[in-house]
Amino acid sequence: MDTTTDLTAFLRALHVFALVAYFGGTFHLVRLFLAHRSAMANWEPDRAILLKAFGGMERKAHYFLVWPALLTVITLSVWYVWKEPTLLVDPFTHVLLGFATVVLGYHLLVHSLYRRLGRGEAVWNTFGLQLFAQGATALLFILTTILIYREELGWTAGIIGLAVTGVIMLFGAVGSRKMKAENTDA
């Protein structure tokens, strides 16, 4: 193997690692938002202590894990397309670019929630945040499905699969909420 091949393999591995770090950090961050929002209902001094702790954890996850990982993914994606510009005519690349746009939109919404929580605003209710937290899981599931079945699945099967995944996740979240309410009443 030559140096160019080694560098390309290393950068591809770094790209995958950054993608995993991004999704892992996003999973963690949105769960912190949920705990942060729940802590807003506590009485003082517990409330102040918890909000300060969650704010610090959110800041570290957001600025030292999620943003750097996302910028690494974007940088390496641009490098890869620059290295192989013929990828831009491949329909699969268009699907990935569309998916990347959705992921970027999700991330900007996460950033907006982070800033609002940092200002002490009560964002969404806990159920809404639970549904939002499932969004990152759905995005990761969709990405891996696209990558694994890119040759076998057509557009119709992909759209139906995404709709079914969304419905299953919604029912799961509603069921989780009902179970929590039943346990609280007992």
Q: Give pLDDT, residue 159.
A: 63
Domain ranges of the chain: 3-185
* pLDDT attached to residue 177: 66
Q: Model's pTM, two decimal places?
A: 0.77
User: For the ranges 33-42, 87-96, 98-107, 113-122, which has the lowest average pLDDT?
Assistant: 87-96
Task: Indicate if the pLDDT at residue 66 is higher than 70.
Answer: yes
Q: Does pLDDT of 3 surpass 60? A: yes
Arithmetic mean of pLDDT over the chain: 82
pLDDT value at residue 61? 93
pLDDT at residue 181 is higher than 70: no
Q: Which of 19-33, 103-117, 154-168 has the lowest mean pLDDT?
A: 154-168
Across residues 46-54, what is the average pLDDT? 90
Give residue 157's identity as a one-letter amino acid code.
A
Higher pLDDT, residue 185 or 180: 180
Q: How many CB atoms lie within 10 A of CB 104?
A: 13
**136: pLDDT strictly greater than 80:** no
What is the pLDDT at residue 29?
Answer: 92
Hunting for tokens 């802590």 — which residue is that? 39
Q: Buried b / exposed e across 64-103, counting CB within 10 Å, b at 16+? A: ebbeebbebbeebbeeeeeeeeeeeeeeeeeebeeeeeeb
Q: What is the pLDDT of residue 18?
A: 93
3-state secondary structure of 121: coil
pLDDT digits (tens, 9 = 90+) for 119-134: 888 778 888 888 888 8
- Between CA 123 and CA 37 the distance in angstroms is 7
Structure tokens at 46: 């517990």
pLDDT at position 99 is 79
